[in-house]
Structure 1
């Protein structure tokens, strides 16, 4: 038995511990301990990939070694511990961020309209607009 076999998943160089085979006639995927010989129709998987493997829709996954059950139980325990740690951490303040100081006096009201947009600009004294009204000087209404 060769112990130098590696996980067949791309980018994973971890040692293989399980072999996955498919039986297409029975719609069954079987995950067993590492086969003694390398089989071109089987996939060697590391612990991480063996624990996360699933069967195609409508197929049955047979896992007599319990790779997926062990990891699921371990994952549930890890997630529970993580949730409790986060919950506990949320109850404590670290003191790293100081509270903003309260204003010393009354807060001034917001400024009135202003800005650089033409609709917000205030009319400047002495500035004339382009168009303006001209008073009627008594022109004859009959004309």
Structure 2
């Protein structure tokens, strides 16, 4: 996989390793499309060295995954709060028995 970045003003396209953040005028390409990339006549294409294999996961990747799962796990099906003074038997307050807690754990390799 590679990231294609281009600059119209310079008539240049750069094909390099996957970008770590989104940037205007850049697109991620699969390996077959990166290999067969052609540019318009008069344009220059710069091909930077691409890694030979997939990148190793980093602690940042794990943290991003955990945050995404936590955000997705927010219970959006909880009904609207009841009228003031009434108690809802469905949703105990945080810290009370039955309140939902995080369910992710990091498991170490053996």
Fold conserved between structures, TM > 0.5: no
Normalised to the residue count of structure 2, the TM-score between the two structures is 0.42
Asked which structure has the greater RCO (Cα within 8 Å, sep 6+), the reply is: 2
Return the TM-score normalized by structure 1. 0.33
More strand by share: 2
